[in-house]
Amino acid sequence: MNKEEYPSIGEVRYTETLPNGLRLVVVPKEGVAASYAAFATEYGGAFRRFRTGQDWLDTPAGIAHYLEHKMFDMPEGNNALEILSANGADPNAFTSSGMTVYYFESTRNFQENLEMLLKFVSTPYFTEESVEKEQGIIGQEIRQTEDSPGFEVYIQLMKLLYDHHPIRDAVAGTVESIREITPQVLYDCHRIFYHPSNMTLCVSGDVDPQEVRDIALKVLTPEPGTAPEPDFGPEDLAEPKEKRHSMTMEVAAPLFYIGAKFAPAPRGEELLRQKLTAGLVLRLLFGSSSDFYTEQYAAGLISRDFDCEADYSAGTATIIMGGESTDPEKVYEEIVKTIEKNLRFGVNPRDLSRIKKASIGARLRGLEDVEGVALSQVDGTFGGYDPLRSVEILPTITAEECNEFLKQVLAPEHLVMSLVLPKGR
């Protein structure tokens, strides 16, 4: 395995692409109480149309999420979640627009749990009866989600920003779309996307990298696969066609999300640098120590749930900020004022230096979290960069880069706003 050392942060990372194409990453941490393993496929809710040869395959919305639910069923009639839990692990999974991740954290029996994780994720087992039963379970989950104000304010934001890209649709699909899912379609999607060459195994904790490698070689197929080619539809317009969406629901206070879309940088260090720059700009302008946050919180216009982030998924990049507010229009106005001020005068170099130091400190503290380390390595593997280099790169990001990002991404004409208002307003 390739060994990379990071003396400035006291970390070591082992990486290797196995003969079957699996990208293996291990960040050992001697003496920590828990270890964490994430087995992920670059396949999420937005991957609905794809090919591995000449023919395109169209699949129903929600199938990646559906497949995640069904993967815990095993041919022997057991449930992998129950087996892992009984063996001292805390397992689960999640599906986003761009990936599906199966994981566990454990303080004992790590090797046995890792074997089980790799075994059940690589062993599909679907029957007509179990697939039909799951349609009822997931259908109920979808209905509950659609009644959630937080879901509606988010999904309407994405529909404002994206005309065609399937990221605008719910990862779980619709009650109607999941009725089209059959065992054969699930087997086809598993065969195409759950091959080791489309996956990564990222581990952090008090583990032996060689043991992790040996278990992966023992459990997984030795044959390399063909990388699928997704089709996310026609290219979206540079600017959103609509700027606002408002709806009423049973909420105590208005909810709002303000967003903007932009082109993600190419894979590799350029992408990492863009992600770090986006984080610095958002923290500088709207973070909890910013003038904007302090003033709006003191005025009662935002609450502690106000948040801002840059989300990268399935070939898209989106700025999302918002939360509850007594007057979302006033908050929008103040956000625009903050952006225009920084566009006019540029970001304050002294404030930027302070935010860099705070960001570096947060990342150093985050290295103690085995879950955060492993999941960041999943993102890095699929993005072609090394997250452990963040502390090295952050100090080199300039005020000019931040100003350019602000100009290209957050200029007021790029912003849209989604609102959920209390009924009667």
CB 347 within 8 A of CB 406: yes
pLDDT score for 232: 96
Q: What is the pLDDT of residue 241?
A: 80
Same fold, 2-230 and 244-422: yes
Q: How far apart are CA 392 and CA 390, in angstroms?
A: 5
Pairing of the two strands 244-249 and 416-422? parallel
Residue with tokens 């399937």: 166
Q: What is the pLDDT of residue 54?
A: 85
The pLDDT tens digits of the residues spanning 82-96 come to: 999 999 999 999 999
Question: Can you read off the two tokens belonging to residue 121?
Answer: 């994720």
Of 35, 205, 38, 40, the residue nearest 105 (C-alpha)? 35
Which residues does the annotation mark as catalytic? 68
Q: Low-confidence residues of the chain, pLDDT below 70?
A: 425
The string of DSSP letters for 168-191 reads: GS-TT--HHHHTT--HHHHHHHHH
CATH class assigned to 244-422: alpha beta
- Residue 172 burial class via C-beta count within 10 angstroms: exposed 0-12, middle 13-18, buried 19 and up: buried
- Fill in the DSSP letter of residue 37: E
Q: So where are the chain's domains? A: 2-230, 244-422
**Domain 2-230, what fold?**
Cytochrome Bc1 Complex; Chain A, domain 1 (3.30.830)
pLDDT tens readout for residues 264-294:
999 999 999 999 999 999 999 999 999 999 9
- CB contact set of 111 (below 8 Å; sequence gap of 6+): 211, 215
d(C-alpha 10, C-alpha 14), whole Å: 14
pLDDT, position 425: 64
- Could you tell me which of 399, 368, 371, 373 has the C-alpha nearest to residue 388? 373
